[in-house]
Amino acid sequence: MSTIRTALVLEAHTPLGLAGVRAALAHADQVLAAAPDPARLLGLTDLAREQPGRIVPLTADVRTPAGRAAISAAVTAPLTLLIAGGADPHGPSLADQQINRTLADLDATRFAASVSTGAFTLLAAAAALKPHLGRARILVVGDWRGSLADRRDGGDHAIACAFAALHMGARTLAWDLEPHDVVLAVGNPGLYRTALHGPEFQQHPEDVMAGLVGALMALPIERTGAFIDAHGKERAW
């Protein structure tokens, strides 16, 4: 009897997370989709109806200890694919977005929260799921703004530092997990549409995530820890 290939998406309530659920269907028999309140996600519930039995919504917030414990308890078999990240480090509100963008807007508490949350969440989730990660493929959704080499302007201080911290957390995690034949990549989604009327030059999130997951699945273990785009091209840290 063949083993069911299981994927886990940790933040399915985000645009990239939901797109990651759909992308994971091409590489897994069953996709566990974690979100704080999945019943309110019409896109996820519609997708679950389209794919009966293949998508399992999990009510869990990976950014909390209780949520990570619930996700870990729901995983009962080795994971083929894990997709982590996709949430905005600042938070969803306009006020969150405006803080720490310029030197005049610096706020220590919010800055620290933005920088630490993503990186810590990734590492804490990996620690909770480690027994199920042997031979898994892990995609950490990062951002070009966390690249030291790509920055040519100022501003957006907190989000740049947040993604740089996430990238380093993922890079160190890759070496932690390499002895277990785990292949990890940080994926740069680039500019993607957040609304149907978005600019045509921006890719649809589903195209972005399909490309990133496909590139990850083709990545040799010698390239674990790489920073890639949706075409598999390696980017500069």
pLDDT digits (tens, 9 = 90+) for 96-123: 777 888 999 899 999 999 999 999 999 9
DSSP for 177-201 reads HGGGT-EEEEE---SB-SSTTS-TT
**Radius of gyration of the chain from Cα atoms?**
17
Count of the separate structural domains present in the chain: 1
d(C-alpha 232, C-alpha 143), whole Å? 15
Whether the Cβ atoms of residue 142 and residue 174 lie closer than 8 Å to each other: no
pLDDT in tens, 189-217: 987 756 555 555 567 889 999 999 999 99
Residue 223 lies in a domain: yes
Instruction: Give the pLDDT score at 205.
Output: 87
Tell me the average pLDDT across 158-168. Answer: 96
SS3 of residue 137 by DSSP? strand
Residue 144 lies in a domain: yes
Residue 61 lies in a domain: yes
Q: What pLDDT band is residue 1 in, cutting at 50, 70 and 90?
A: very low
Residue 183 lies in a domain: yes
Residue 132 lies in a domain: yes
Instruction: Give the pLDDT score at 200.
Output: 59
Domain containing 133 equals 6-228
Residue 191: what are its φ and ψ, rounded to 5°? -85, 125
Instruction: Give the pLDDT score at 178.
Output: 97
Q: What pLDDT band is residue 220 in, cutting at 50, 70 and 90?
A: very high
pLDDT at 38 exceeding the cut of 90: yes
For residue 89, give the nearest of 58, 57, 122, 65 by alpha carbon.
122
Instruction: Give the pLDDT score at 197.
Output: 58
Cα separation values, 142 from 56, 69, 164, 188, Å:
25, 24, 9, 5
Instruction: Give the pLDDT score at 198.
Output: 55
Residue 83 lies in a domain: yes
- What element of type H or E holds 43? helix 42-50
d(C-alpha 116, C-alpha 89), whole Å? 9
Residue 234 lies in a domain: no
Residue 118 lies in a domain: yes
User: Please, what is the Cα angle at 88 between 220 and 131, to 5 degrees?
Assistant: 45
Tokens, residue 114: 């933005």
Instruction: Give the pLDDT score at 195.
Output: 52
CATH of the domain at 19: 3.40.50.720
Tell me the average pLDDT across 41-50. Answer: 94
SS3 of residue 234 by DSSP? strand
C-alpha atoms less than 13 angstroms from C-alpha of 212 in its C-beta half-sphere: 40
Whether the Cβ atoms of residue 8 and residue 83 lie closer than 8 Å to each other: yes
